Structure 1
Amino acid sequence: MDISISWVVIIVFVLSYLILMDKWRASKLPGNLPPSPPKLPVIGHLHLLRGGLPQHVLRGITQKYGAVAHLQLGEVHSVVLSSAESTKQAMKVLDPTFADRFDSIGSQIMWYNNDDMIFSRYNDHWRQIRKICVSELLSPRNVRSFGFIRQDEMARLIRVFESSEGAAINASEEISKMSCAIVCRAAFGSVLKDQGKLADLVKEALSMASGFELADLYPSSWLLNLLCFNKYRLQRMRGRLDNILDGFLEEHKVKKSGEFGGEDIIDVLYRMQKDTEMKAPITNNGIKGFIFDVFSAGTETSATTIQWALSELMKNPEKMVKAQAEVREKLKGKTNPDVADVQELKYLHSVVKETLRLHPPFPLIPRLCKEECEVTGYTIPAKTRILVNVWSIGRDPAYWKDPDTFNPDRFDEVSRDVIGNDFELIPFGAGRRVCPGLHFGLANVEVPLAQLLYHFDYKLPSAMTAADMDMSETPGLSGPRKNPLIMIPTIHNPTS
């Protein structure tokens, strides 16, 4: 009995302490915060995130409480932005204030303590690595020069689809292989020996680096950090990642040159590592973090977008017919179409934009407010975590008619691009931290998609109908299909 009473006293003491700390933190906040749902002691609004993907749940909250909403997730104060107006103010008007990132256990472990480009803080290191990336890899000239790589890998993918004619094929798997090969050859001069294992690690890491671990939301709790089992899983994954990347970099050091006969991006990073005048020294972990960036942002986003585009076209057969008709008319007689050729495909561009509207590669864009400021009249405290709900903005009826319907034709009436100028459609972000590889990524979506539509007709396996298609998403930082896309390709006969 004495033991039971002791435990009750301890539990009451701990809960009382946590409630008092919660009230003390709340007293330090400014009075003009964005609207907020009723919260519970200690956990705040954490219970509201149950029962769905974060972007879906957060959309429901902002629909009820306003496009700018304040949430207390454990100890962490967050603000959700779910309108084009609030996002434009944060990412354009106040861009330097919102250009930072917040840490998560997943990004710290898998992206080398954020010594990379995607998850790096807004500092000299980020500016330096981004400048190298854009000038040496992602310039428009380089994107065009990678055309022969896209042609090689598309030819391989077409052969795979041809060999499966009349039989079901895992299109998701084959498209991911193609995307990995294009990115590896463009960035590193050759296909990585363990690129399949690396691609699997990317998918696992993206699914676990969302920042919604309990240890992420109670950063002061050493106990939750100790009991975070996903942390130990991530550390084992990091060990596998180190083995792959260390082996690749050792091979790279003894290799004379890549496919282009000169320096590739890794050579450039090694050369600059020796420059003693660099503002932020480039470390070996920084190089490995950059490689993992290229894989996670370069391969996963392009492959995911192609898969979603095909899924939506399969689910909407009349749109598929229209897209194939345009591609087969405009590309007729062109054996190796590339970026310049697909510029003529107006409806294909609309298909890709509509796919990115409904299925942005990163549904939630994380930012960190560097200093106290105002957004749409509300006070945002310094160090507040910001979640831009790109998925919700793309489905907002205030900007889009029939927002949940896949309708590429809407872009005949609405002129909006995806490169960060129109805040109703920002699948690649906007402002200083807009995705530097968006032109490279779009080329790696539009050219393969055009060729897949040109060469093949498709049907679903067995007795499945378009209405039966599962369009569920996987939880995590990115938004790929929950289940692979299985299709039956048939070689298109132009004379039939």
Structure 2
Amino acid sequence: MVVMIYYYYFSIAIALLSIIVIFLVTTTSRLIKKRPPGPWGLPIIGNLLQYDSTNVHVCLSNLSKKYGPLMYMKLASLPIIVISSARFAKEALKDNDVAFSGRPISSSLSRLSYDYLDISLSPYNDYWREMKKLIVIRLFSHQQVTSFRHAREDEVSRMIEEVSQQAKSTDQLVNLSKAAMSFSSCFISRVTLGKSFDETGFRKTRFQKLLQEIQAMKLVPFVGDYYPLLGWIDRLSGKISQLDKVIQDMDVFLQQLVDEHLSPNRPDYMDGDFLDILFQLREEPSSSVHIDFDNIKALLINIYVAGTDPTAATITWVMTALIKNPSALEKAQEEIRGLVGKKGRVDEDDIDKLPYLKAVVKETLRFYPPAPLLPKATTTRCNLNGYEIEPKTLVFVNLWDIGRDPEYWENPNEFLPERFLNSNIDFKGHDFGLLPFGSGRRRCPGFSLGIAQVELAIANLLYSFDWKLPHGVTEDDIDIDTEPGAVVHKKNALCLMAKCYM
């Protein structure tokens, strides 16, 4: 009798266990069918072992070649979708723009943006929409970008003079990577803060160092971002303390800049800079959002980081591409010098008359996008190519891969500026094979300011100097290795020989 009772309950237990197993297998199978294809991951850690954080865009590109241009992965507990073709980029960023308008969330990004008070990292919400509207109208309008023409031309002239001094030394190579970063830093600090890093004493401040520390902290992996219940490990390891110190140091420095601008005895050259305009927005009673000093500091970091790194990286990659492609370099110089003649410099009125120069910049943005991964996060459940994408899914749009998409580009692995001559393809976010500044609602609001810097700087570098490779170096010797980061700089500085043209 006892045996029969045990057998009865054992049979019920087996039956229940079988039902649970069948349910889990069926549910898992259904979920997998709804997801895009992707590499199998391990329990708990997912695909972390297949994720190369030092060269993410190339790593994801290699995986996408195997699993397709719409790929699913999981980094620990984080679901990820990787988009690697123009077709899927259009479906996500145009057809599902709102659903893909979120931003990744992490403990470091939250702290570094004053709890998402900026516009780069802020989630898609009413605050972001109103703040972006104000920023576009007041800081990055065509009129505002044009108003900084004198500052651009002045800083380009300063860069050309510095390169000229180096060129006059027959045994000295010009470090173009350093020159590009100096130019972009000086210009953006001038229009943002009213003064250039080259002015007395200001270069020695901690601003650049603090910004570099902030950029470095963005790359630090926090356990709590992957396993929320284990966030205490970050505090125990000292990462949280390190992050808090960087934030505190930056806040102290930014407050000094704020106090300097608020001083009644401030110099006239601060009138009309970005920080001054942000103060004006703070005082306007009709402003659609409340702006306090934390908002201003968060936006200041946004503007400075976005205005220096991508611009400097793009200038370096343009010159890298040209020195590796001598025929393109020769065509660009002939066009510029044929137009400008003996005037002595290229000014902004000349730029629109230089179609090949513009084609070179576009081709560089296709071939070497300064920010190769466009990070997104889904705000709602959506459908992409028949697959169900859950909300709060991290999305990487691989611009590096899209720029090499054979379905969109002819001869995608060749550097051919001619492809943009007599072509309507542009980088403003409507052509999904070329998205260096993003698309839709989250497109970079300051792209026109950055492009104006790049085109003027490149035009004058090509007009003013004849560029040659160092002795014994060939085009193939110029590497295209990159440093890890959201903006990919050339790992090894681009150093070339320069001879003054006039």
TMscore range, shorter length: 0.7 to 0.9
Q: Report what 1:10 is aligned to.
A: none
| Counterpart contact for 1:85–1:423, Cα < 8 Å | yes
Structure 1 residues 233 and 370: CA distance shift in structure 2, 3 A? same
Q: Aligned letter for 2:257?
A: F
Structure 1 residues 52 and 298: CA distance shift in structure 2, 3 A? closer
Shift of 1:226: 2.6
Shift of 1:196: 6.7
Shift of 1:274: 4.2
Q: Aligned letter for 1:444?
A: Q
Shift of 1:225: 2.8
Tell me how far apart the structure 2 counterparts of residues 331 and 196 of structure 1 sit (CA, whole Å): 38
Which of 226, 229, 239 is the aligned partner of 2:235?
226
Q: Aligned letter for 1:151?
A: E
Shift of 1:120: 0.8
Which of 144, 152, 155 is the aligned partner of 2:154?
152
Larger CA deviation: 349-358 vs 219-228: 219-228
Q: Report what 2:97 is aligned to.
A: 95
| Counterpart contact for 1:419–1:430, Cα < 8 Å | yes
Structure 1 residues 370 and 30: CA distance shift in structure 2, 3 A? farther
Runs of 5+ unmatched residues, structure 1: 1-19
Which of 79, 102, 118 is the aligned partner of 2:81?
79
| Counterpart contact for 1:29–1:381, Cα < 8 Å | no
Larger CA deviation: 35-44 vs 408-417: 408-417
Structure 1 residues 360 and 253: CA distance shift in structure 2, 3 A? same
1:44 pairs with 2:49:
no
Q: Report what 2:136 is aligned to.
A: 134
Q: Aligned letter for 1:322?
A: K
Shift of 1:228: 5.5
- Deviations, residues 264-301 of structure 1 (Å, cap 9, x unaligned): 33233223334566554223222111111111111111
| Counterpart contact for 1:455–1:491, Cα < 8 Å | yes
Which of 53, 56, 79 is the aligned partner of 1:54?
56
Q: Report what 2:181 is aligned to.
A: 176
Which of 386, 402, 414 is the aligned partner of 1:377?
386
Q: Report what 2:251 is aligned to.
A: 242
Shift of 1:48: 0.8
Structure 1 residues 145 and 95: CA distance shift in structure 2, 3 A? same
SS of the aligned residue for 1:220 comes to helix
Tell me how far apart the structure 1 counterparts of residues 445 and 181 of structure 2 sit (CA, whole Å): 21
Shift of 1:53: 0.9
Q: Aligned letter for 2:87?
A: E
Q: Report what 1:419 is aligned to.
A: 428
Q: Aligned letter for 2:400?
A: W
Q: Report what 1:34 is aligned to.
A: 36
SS of the aligned residue for 2:117 comes to coil
Q: Report what 2:348 is aligned to.
A: 339
Q: Aligned letter for 2:316?
A: Q
TM-score, normalization: structure 2? 0.87
- Deviations, residues 286-343 of structure 1 (Å, cap 9, x unaligned): 2111111111111111111001101111122222111111111112244553333111
Q: Report what 1:5 is aligned to.
A: none
Q: Report what 2:316 is aligned to.
A: 307
1:65 pairs with 2:67:
yes
Q: Aligned letter for 1:59?
A: S
- Deviations, residues 154-205 of structure 1 (Å, cap 9, x unaligned): 1111110111113113222222121122222223332362587433443443
Aligned counterparts, 1:302-451, within 5 A: 302-335=311-344, 337-412=346-421, 415-451=424-460
Tell me how far apart the structure 2 counterparts of residues 234 and 464 of structure 1 sit (CA, whole Å): 43
Larger CA deviation: 376-385 vs 408-417: 408-417
Tell me how far apart the structure 2 counterparts of residues 350 and 83 of structure 1 sit (CA, whole Å): 22
Shift of 1:373: 0.8
| Counterpart contact for 2:355–2:421, Cα < 8 Å | no
Tell me how far apart the structure 2 counterparts of residues 171 and 195 of structure 1 sit (CA, whole Å): 21
| Counterpart contact for 1:455–1:492, Cα < 8 Å | yes
Q: Aligned letter for 2:65?
A: Q
SS of the aligned residue for 1:426 comes to coil
Q: Report what 1:199 is aligned to.
A: 208
Question: Which protein shows a greater Rg?
Answer: 2
| Counterpart contact for 2:225–2:231, Cα < 8 Å | no
Q: Report what 2:492 is aligned to.
A: 483
Structure 1 residues 52 and 238: CA distance shift in structure 2, 3 A? closer
Structure 1 residues 413 and 343: CA distance shift in structure 2, 3 A? closer
TM-score, normalization: structure 1? 0.88
SS of the aligned residue for 1:476 comes to coil
SS of the aligned residue for 1:97 comes to coil
| Counterpart contact for 1:105–1:211, Cα < 8 Å | no
Tell me how far apart the structure 2 counterparts of residues 261 and 180 of structure 1 sit (CA, whole Å): 17
SS of the aligned residue for 1:57 comes to helix
Q: Report what 2:3 is aligned to.
A: none
How many correspondences in the alignment?
472
Tell me how far apart the structure 2 counterparts of residues 413 and 283 of structure 1 sit (CA, whole Å): 47
Tell me how far apart the structure 1 counterparts of residues 149 and 431 of structure 2 sit (CA, whole Å): 28
| Counterpart contact for 1:68–1:80, Cα < 8 Å | yes
Q: Report what 1:186 is aligned to.
A: 191
Which of 296, 299, 306 is the aligned partner of 1:290?
299
Structure 1 residues 181 and 463: CA distance shift in structure 2, 3 A? same
Larger CA deviation: 225-234 vs 103-112: 225-234
SS of the aligned residue for 1:95 comes to coil
Q: Aligned letter for 1:460?
A: L
Tell me how far apart the structure 2 counterparts of residues 359 and 202 of structure 1 sit (CA, whole Å): 24
Structure 1 residues 196 and 361: CA distance shift in structure 2, 3 A? farther
Structure 1 residues 51 and 367: CA distance shift in structure 2, 3 A? closer
Tell me how far apart the structure 1 counterparts of residues 346 and 224 of structure 2 sit (CA, whole Å): 49
Runs of 5+ unmatched residues, structure 2: 1-20
| Counterpart contact for 1:133–1:265, Cα < 8 Å | no
Q: Report what 1:9 is aligned to.
A: none
SS of the aligned residue for 2:313 comes to helix
